[in-house]
């Protein structure tokens, strides 16, 4: 086998993935070490069983979070960010945000400092997982959530602060806007460039993965120049970059009698509150959803609840230079070191990572084995207490059960 080497990117955005790639990982805090060990075992087994030893991942640990602080005095060392950037693909467990250390969120800081502008959250039902829905198998959606602006820009000032008073005075004197006394103030920026690159990535994903539509989720009936503009710029991105492969919903019915031409994606938009109804009542009508930051935060978690919760919800943060795949839940510190919690979110994020690398056979092997293990009812406590006849196993045992299901 060739020596380990970095993944690299071509000018067109495609990846050069060696047979023995070096992939950085961040173990994470709290339950992070437990779920990472489980994930590493499953991913390694999938690669080995799928490619018969011709391919293998060389894992490279990065000190971030509590381990980063212990080793370097910095919760988010620049060297770790540089390593992710130069290696193109990385995976991470959940991180604790240090209290009073000047960082609002380590997870958000990683996304912003690496310009990982698309938070990608696939939501698909795993048979046997308890769900509040009557027909959870109809849910197969992928949320593309903008990661760098809207509320994630973090532009706000506290009630009574000098900055808030100055902003309020500016609004009153220059804009004729009178704010309530002592208001806390936040700014919600949404830009054409950042919107268009997000929507373009969502459309590209839909085309590559066989989704029939991309829905632009927004609250443009109220916030016309931010959320409404998001929808307008989304349509422009489709028209300017994918003219021959996209049609609008109006065109679908006016020109094609409701039947989209083969190989095209329908671009449509929905008001945010209405879409929450639609994904409950008519989930089969929605595939990829592109959304500003806050809407995406809400709907991705709501969709995860429809298929059983965040414990089995994968996620990724993807930019033009690099991508970081991650568990979508928190650190659950009360379970630290107990080998107890469900590693499914990080394992399925690892499957997303394998897909992204072009190792889709291995990614499918992971998902199929997770489904088989759940169906066999050998699951961690969170699922065992809800699944009739289930056997509760530890985090590491669940990973072993998944590996045991691989063909």
What integer is the mean pLDDT of 93-114? 80
377 is in an annotated binding site: no
φ and ψ at 357, to 5 degrees? -75, -10
Average pLDDT, the chain: 94
* Residue with more model confidence, 53 or 233: 233
Length of the chain: 407
107 is in an annotated binding site: yes
User: Could you please report the per-residue DSSP string of 240-281?
Assistant: HH-TTTEEEHHHHHHTTTT-PPTT-EEEEEEEHHHHHHHHHH
pLDDT band at 180 (very low <50, low <70, confident <90, very high): very high
**Which of the following is catalytic: 75, 117, 125, 152?**
152
Active site annotation includes 297: yes
Active site annotation includes 51: no
- The distance from CA 277 to its chain's CA centroid, rounded to whole angstroms, is 22
d(CA 91, CA 77): 16
Helix (H, G, I), strand (E, B) or coil at 4: coil
pLDDT at 322: 97
pLDDT at 381: 92
334 is in an annotated binding site: yes
Question: Would you say 379 and 127 are in contact if contact means Cβ atoms under 8 Å apart?
Answer: no
Which residue is associated with the tokens 């602060």?
161
d(CA 296, CA 299): 5
Question: Would you say 42 and 396 are in contact if contact means Cβ atoms under 8 Å apart?
Answer: no
pLDDT at 99: 62
111 is in an annotated binding site: yes
Question: Would you say 157 and 185 are in contact if contact means Cβ atoms under 8 Å apart?
Answer: yes
pLDDT at 328: 87
Q: What is the pLDDT of residues 20-49, one digit of tens each?
A: 999 999 999 999 999 999 999 999 999 999
pLDDT at 193: 97
Q: What are the structural domains, with CATH classification, of the chain? A: 1-120+339-407 (3.40.718.10), 132-149+190-306 (3.40.718.10), 150-187 (no CATH)
Answer whether residue 103 shows pLDDT above 70.
Answer: no
**Which of the following is catalytic: 29, 34, 297, 339?**
297
Active site annotation includes 273: yes
pLDDT at 130: 86
**Which of the following is catalytic: 67, 219, 268, 340?**
219
363 is in an annotated binding site: no
d(CA 77, CA 393): 36
The fraction of the chain above a pLDDT of 90, given in percent, is 87
Q: What is the pTM of this model?
A: 0.93
145's CB contacts (< 8 A; 6+ apart) are: 118, 119, 120, 121, 291, 292, 293, 295, 296, 297, 300
145 is in an annotated binding site: yes
What integer is the mean pLDDT of 147-162? 91
**Which of the following is catalytic: 82, 273, 320, 360?**
273
pLDDT at 104: 67
pLDDT band at 13 (very low <50, low <70, confident <90, very high): confident
Active site annotation includes 152: yes
d(CA 127, CA 371): 7
What integer is the mean pLDDT of 357-375? 96
> What is the biggest distance separating any 2 CA atoms in the chain, rounded to whole angstroms?
70
Answer whether residue 100 shows pLDDT above 60.
Answer: no
381 is in an annotated binding site: yes
pLDDT at 309: 82
């Amino acid at each position: 086998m060739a020596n380990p080497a970095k993944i690299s990117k071509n000018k067109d955005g495609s990846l050069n993935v060696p047979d023995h790639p070096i992939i950085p990982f961040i173990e994470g805090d709290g339950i992070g070490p437990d779920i990472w060990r489980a994930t590493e075992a499953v991913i390694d087994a999938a690669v080995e069983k799928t490619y018969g030893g011709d391919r293998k991942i060389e894992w490279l640990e990065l000190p971030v979070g509590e381990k980063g602080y212990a080793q370097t005095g910095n919760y988010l060392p620049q060297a770790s960010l540089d390593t992710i950037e130069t290696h193109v693909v990385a995976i991470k467990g959940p991180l604790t945000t240090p209290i009073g250390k000047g960082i609002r969120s380590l997870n958000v800081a990683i996304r912003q400092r690496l310009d990982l502008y698309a938070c990608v959250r696939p939501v698909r039902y795993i048979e046997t997982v308890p769900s509040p829905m009557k027909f959870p198998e109809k849910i197969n959606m992928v949320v593309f959530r903008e990661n760098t602006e809207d509320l994630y820009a973090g532009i706000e000032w506290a009630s009574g602060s000098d900055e808030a008073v100055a902003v309020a005075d500016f609004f009153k004197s220059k804009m004729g806007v009178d704010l309530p006394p002592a208001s806390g103030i936040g700014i919600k920026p949404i830009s054409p460039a950042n919107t268009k690159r997000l929507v373009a990535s969502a459309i590209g994903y839909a085309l590559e993965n066989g989704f029939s539509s991309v829905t632009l989720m927004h609250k443009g009936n109220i916030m016309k120049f931010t959320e409404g503009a998001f929808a307008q710029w989304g349509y422009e991105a489709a028209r300017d970059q994918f003219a021959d492969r996209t049609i609008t919903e109006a065109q679908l019915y006016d020109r094609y009698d409701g039947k989209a031409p083969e190989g095209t994606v329908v671009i449509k938009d929905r008001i945010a509150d209405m879409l929450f109804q639609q994904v409950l009542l008519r989930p089969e009508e929605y595939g990829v959803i592109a959304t500003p930051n806050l809407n995406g935060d809400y709907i991705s978690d709501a969709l995860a609840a429809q298929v059983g919760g965040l414990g089995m919800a994968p996620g990724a943060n993807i930019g033009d230079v690099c991508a970081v795949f991650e568990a979508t839940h928190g650190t659950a510190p009360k379970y630290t070191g107990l080998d107890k919690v469900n590693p499914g979110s990080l394992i399925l994020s690892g499957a997303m990572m394998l897909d992204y690398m072009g190792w889709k056979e291995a990614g499918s092997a992971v998902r199929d084995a997770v489904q088989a293990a759940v169906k066999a009812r050998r699951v961690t406590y969170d699922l065992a207490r809800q699944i009739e006849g289930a056997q509760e196993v530890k985090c590491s045992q669940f990973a072993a059960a998944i590996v045991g299901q691989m063909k």
